[in-house]
């Protein structure tokens, strides 16, 4: 863990080749892990090597396929459901396609900070939702990882809901994001992550929203002028497998995989927190972007008042908010 964390933050991502991961033993069960994030993102740099390291000697080898090599976030989740892929990383809105309440963690302004997020994903309300997701979909949430706090980059300041009027802002291709931004004052344009840089560069889009490490690893700071710290989603993503694979593993292997997933989540969280602070400080110092410290209350008050009545899982949203207050 110390080796993993030493490479995170402003000093740059770790080199995965520094992690002493030996090839799997003959006869190991090889699990393919696919996700949409760039190879420099903390999911790949801080999480995947630790999973591989933690599973040495378990009879399991994990092979990683980053950068949407095996499909988009939605496609990879479908492959896991069908048994054609072993593991993927998917956000709550994508789980919500299979079981609507599982999208709740992508509800805007659900949490004030990372501590509230951690308390929720380790608590009984989210555990209940994820068990219901498993029963409905046949897929299992192995671990919930902090992905980062989402902010808006744009070609203009966005400091009030009125500033979003007429702004073409990219979001992931999930209906909840359209709802979130409709309440916040804007209109979302769904688009795959890999298409966003060119759309911003060509002016097809005016803005996008992502956590700072994703903004950096995707190069969006190169084609945007303003970073608006709206903090609209303190977000997690989930490491997902399916019940068939879970049943095929030996009990000790399941325990090892669960422990490796949890350890990776801790490492990813520490790396992302370090990067969130370090990258913004660097951008401020270098003038890469104009950074706006947004008063979030006008956005948050709108969303917390309206969102529960606009979604089927509004009671769960309020239950989680109450549980972490």
- pTM as predicted: 0.88
DSSP tag of 56 = T
Residue 42, token pair as written in the block: 């903390």
Q: Is 30 left (phi over 0), alpha (psi -120 to 50) or beta?
A: beta
DSSP-derived 3-state class of residue 147: strand
- Partner residues linked to 170 by β-bridges: 189, 208
Digitized pLDDT (tens) for each residue of the chain, 325 residues in all: 433 443 444 434 334 334 334 456 778 999 999 999 889 889 999 999 999 999 999 999 999 999 999 999 999 999 999 999 999 999 999 999 999 999 999 999 999 999 999 999 999 999 999 999 999 999 999 999 999 999 999 999 999 999 999 999 999 888 899 999 999 999 899 998 889 999 999 999 999 999 998 899 899 999 999 999 999 999 999 999 999 999 999 999 999 999 999 999 999 999 999 999 999 999 999 999 999 999 999 999 999 999 999 999 999 999 999 999 8
**Residue pair 45/236 in contact by the 8 Å Cβ criterion:** no
For 58-91, b where at least 16 C-beta lie within 10 A, e where not — what string? bebbbebbbbbebbbbbbbbbbbbeeebbbbbbb
Burial class for 20, CB neighbours closer than 10 Å (0-12, 13-18, 19+)? exposed
Q: How far is CA 303 from CA 110, 161, 184, 306, in A?
A: 9, 11, 7, 5
**Residue pair 46/4 in contact by the 8 Å Cβ criterion:** yes
């Amino acid at each position: 863990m110390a080796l993993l964390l030493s490479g995170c933050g402003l000093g740059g991502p770790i080199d995965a080749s520094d992690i002493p991961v030996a090839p799997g033993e003959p006869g190991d069960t090889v699990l393919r892990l696919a996700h949409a994030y760039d190879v420099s993102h903390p999911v790949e740099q801080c999480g995947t090597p630790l999973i591989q390291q933690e599973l040495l000697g378990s009879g399991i080898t994990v092979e990683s396929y980053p950068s949407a090599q095996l499909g988009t976030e939605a496609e990879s989740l479908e492959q896991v459901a069908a048994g054609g892929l072993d593991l993927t990383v998917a956000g709550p809105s994508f789980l919500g396609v299979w079981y609507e309440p599982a999208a709740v963690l992508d509800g805007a302004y659900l949490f004030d900070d990372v501590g509230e997020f951690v308390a929720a994903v380790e608590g009984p309300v989210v555990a209940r939702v994820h068990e219901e997701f498993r029963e409905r979909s046949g897929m299992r949430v192995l671990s919930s990882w902090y992905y980062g706090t989402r902010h808006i980059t744009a070609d203009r300041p966005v400091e009030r809901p009125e500033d979003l009027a007429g702004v073409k802002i990219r979001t992931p291709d999930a209906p909840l994001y359209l709802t979130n931004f409709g309440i916040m004052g804007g209109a979302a344009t769904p688009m795959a992550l890999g298409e966003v840089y060119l759309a911003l560069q060509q002016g097809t889009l005016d803005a996008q929203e992502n956590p700072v490490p994703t903004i950096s690893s995707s190069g969006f700071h190169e084609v945007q002028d303003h970073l608006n710290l709206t903090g609209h989603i303190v977000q997690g993503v989930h490491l997902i497998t399916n019940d068939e694979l879970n049943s095929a593993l030996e009990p000790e292997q399941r325990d090892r995989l669960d422990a490796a997933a949890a350890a990776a989540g801790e490492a990813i969280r520490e790396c992302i927190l370090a990067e969130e602070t370090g990258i913004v400080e660097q951008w401020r110092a270098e003038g890469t972007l104009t950074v706006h410290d947004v008063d979030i209350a006008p956005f948050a008050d709108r969303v917390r008042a309206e969102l529960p009545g606009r979604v089927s899982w509004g009671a769960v949203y309020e239950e989680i908010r109450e549980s972490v207050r």
